[in-house]
Amino acid sequence: MKKMLTQAHEAILNCMGEAIYVIDRSMKILYANPASAKLTGYTVHEAIGKKCEDIFCEASFRCKGICPPKKAMREQQPILHREAETKTKGGDIRQTQISFSPFYEDEKCVGSVIVIKDITEVKKAEEQLRKQKDFLMLIIDSLPHPFYVIDANSYEIRIANKAGMSEAPAAGQTCFECTHSRNEPCDETGHPCPLAEVKKTKLPVVVEHIHRDPDGALRNCEVHGCPIVDDKGAVVQMIEYSLDITDRKNADLQREGLIGELRQALDQVNRLSGLLPICSSCKKIRDDGGYWTQIETYISEHSEAQFSHGLCLDCARKLYPSLYKGKE
C-alpha cells in the first residue's frame, strides 16, 4: 500500500470531500480517507481491514448478482457514476453516486479505487423540483384554453398543456406548425406574430389570430404573449395562451348586421320623401293601399312625430264667434 500511495497522493485524497476507499482483489479495504467516515459513520481505523460490503455496500440487493468493483477489476475498465443506496453505521440510507476504477502494480490489476459522493440532498432537491413541476403542470393542464412556453429563438414549443396539445410536443415542433400548419412564422400585417412583438417590445402583447384547433377547424383566437427574460434582459422564452373568441366574433358580426338592418329600417320609417297625394279640402293623405288617412295619423305611422291637438286663432274665431264678438 505504501508503494501505491505517496505522501503527496495521500495528502490529496485526505483533502477531498468525497469518500474514497482502496480495496484489494479480496474486497478488503486498504485505505479510507477522512471524508469516508463522515459519510458512512465508520472511522478510518474501523474501516481498514474490513470487507467493503461490511462498511459501505449499498442497502439494496442490486450487487448480489454483479459486484461493481469486482466487475471493474475483472474487465479492467472503470465504472463511472453509478447511483446506489449506501447504508451508514447508524442505519441511515444515503443516496450516493459511486465510481469504481481498477488500479495496477507492475501492470497487474491488484485492486480497485472506489469514490463515493453523497447526493442525498441533491436527490431531495430534485424530488422537490419534480413535485413542483408536476404541480405546476397540473395547474397548467387544468386551464381550459391552450397554454404554451415557446423558445424565443427557435419558436419550438417547450411546454404545452392538454388544451393546446393532446400529447407532449415532439422534439423541434414549433408554434407556427402547431397552431397554423405553417413552415415559417406569421408575418401578416393584420395578424402579427406575438413572439416577434414580444421580442421587439419586451412587453406583454395581445393580438388576434386564426388558429387551427386539434380537429383542424379554424378558430378566432385572442393570443396573449408574455416575455421571459434572462439576467441580461434578453427575451429567451415566451408564455403564450390563447382564448377562443370565435363565438364572440360571430355574435359581434350578427349584432352589427342587426344594428345595420335596424338603422336602415329606422331611416325608412323616419324619412318622408317623394310625392304624397293629399286632399285639397280635408287634407287627408292617400297611402300605398289607396286608403285616405288623416294627415296626423299618416305622419305618426311613418315617422317619430307625435301630435297634440289644439286650435289656431283663425279656426277658434270661426268655430266660436261668440267668444270673440266685440273683441276685434
Interval 146-205: pLDDT, tens: 999 999 999 999 999 988 887 778 888 888 888 887 788 877 666 788 999 999 999 999
The mean pLDDT value for 287-296 works out to 81
pLDDT band at 49 (very low <50, low <70, confident <90, very high): very high
* CA–CA gap between residue 96 and residue 26 (Å, rounded): 23
Same domain (yes/no): 309, 218: no
The three-class DSSP label of residue 75 is helix
Q: How many helices (H) and strands (E) would you count in the chain?
A: 12, 12
Average pLDDT over residues 14-39: 90
Angle at 306 between CA 301 and CA 308, to 5 degrees: 130
Q: Is residue 257 in some structural domain?
A: no
> Residues 221-233: what's their mean pLDDT?
93
Dmax of the chain from CA atoms? 155
Is 34's pLDDT higher than 70? yes
Q: Are residues 217 and 279 in the same domain?
A: no
Average pLDDT over residues 309-328: 75
Question: In which residue are the cell numbers 286663432 written?
Answer: 313
pLDDT of residue 293 exceeding 80, the answer is yes
Q: Kindly state whether residues 114 and 173 are assigned to the same domain.
A: no
State whether 98 and 173 are in the same domain.
Answer: no
Choosing from 84, 119, 154, the residue where a domain stops is 119
3-state secondary structure of 135: helix
Query: Does some domain include residue 172?
Result: yes
What's residue 59's pLDDT? Answer: 52
Looking only at the bridges linking them, the beta strands covering 157-160 and 205-212 are unpaired
In a domain, 125, yes or no: no
Answer for the pair 182, 165: CB distance below 8 angstroms, yes or no. no
% of the chain at pLDDT higher than 90: 30
Grid cell, residue 21, equals 476507499
**Alpha-carbon 291 to chain mean position:** 71
If residue 270 lies in a helix (H) or strand (E), which one and from where to where? helix 246-270
Greater confidence (207 vs 77) lies with: 207
Whole-angstrom CA distances from 110 to 1, 19, 26, 76, 312 are 11, 20, 9, 10, 134
Is there a domain that residue 265 lies in?
A: no
Residue 252 lies in a domain: no
Q: What's at 179, amino acid-wise?
A: T
User: What mean pLDDT comes out for the span 109-130?
Assistant: 92
pTM here is 0.55
Domain with 322, as residue range(s), is: 272-328
d(CA 312, CA 46): 129
Is position 127 within any domain?
no
pLDDT of residue 42: 93
Nearest 5°: CA angle at 73, between 83 and 12? 70
pLDDT above 60 (res 261): yes
Q: Is 251 part of any domain?
A: no
Confidence at 124, pLDDT banded by 50, 70, 90: very high
73 and 27 in a single domain? The answer is yes
Q: Mean per-residue pLDDT for 88-109? A: 87
| Number of structural domains the chain divides into | 3
Q: What is the CA radius of gyration of the chain?
A: 45
> Do 33 and 106 sit in the same domain of this protein?
yes
Q: Give the residue from 192, 221, 241 where a domain finishes.
A: 241
Three-state helix/strand/coil letters over 161-212: CCCCCCCCCCCCCEHHHHHHCCCCCCCCCCCCCHHHHHHHHCCCEEEEEEEE
